[in-house]
Amino acid sequence: MKQQSNRLKKAAAILILVVAAALLIGIFTRPGSLVLKNGATGEVYARYPMREGEGFSVGFIHSVNKSPVTDEYEIRDGQITVVRTIYYGFGAGVQTQIEEGQTLTYGEDGSMIVSGFDTPMPNLQYIVGTVSDHILTVNGEEISLRDLCGRNSLVRFVYEAPWPRR
């Protein structure tokens, strides 16, 4: 009888450990969310699942030099971090000098790729264009910010981690 009681206790302890491990794995592997909000009112336009290390981009035609620009971001340490910018023409409003830690490379299509920013963006915002659209690329999908948020909308990008930050 005592032997059976010990086996039941051992089995219960193992079951508790397995359930606790499954819960912890679920908590730490579930995705957070890239949240797009109205920068003035806080209204949520959309949420997209996103994990640490994953990225997204925003592409648009620059309002001054009229060439395509793509800003690329990743989630690092629970924050949106700018990683690189891709553009096709120099001019007002685009980077003309490489700063310390940054590199300039050229794509096969003639693009200029500035990388090495690695800068957290706690207040990332875009004003959706009236002449040209801003295109969000996230999880392999292209989303028109003009259709989603409206022309001239101030769109704030926020990452909500699946666990509380300290």
pLDDT digits (tens, 9 = 90+) for 52-101: 999 999 999 987 778 899 999 999 999 999 999 999 887 666 777 788 89
Handedness of CA 23, 24, 29, 34 (dihedral sign): positive
Of the pLDDT bands very low, low, confident and very high (cuts 50, 70, 90), residue 14 is low
The pTM of the whole model exceeds 0.85: no
Of the pLDDT bands very low, low, confident and very high (cuts 50, 70, 90), residue 2 is low
Rounded Cα distance between 34 and 143, Å, is 13
State residue 59's pLDDT score: 96
pLDDT surpassing 80 at residue 108:
yes
Tokens describing residue 131? 């002449």
Query: Distance of alpha carbon 111 from its chain centroid, rounded?
Result: 23
Number of CB atoms found within 10 A of residue 117's CB: 19
* H or E element, residue 120: strand 112-120
Tokens describing residue 81? 């971090």
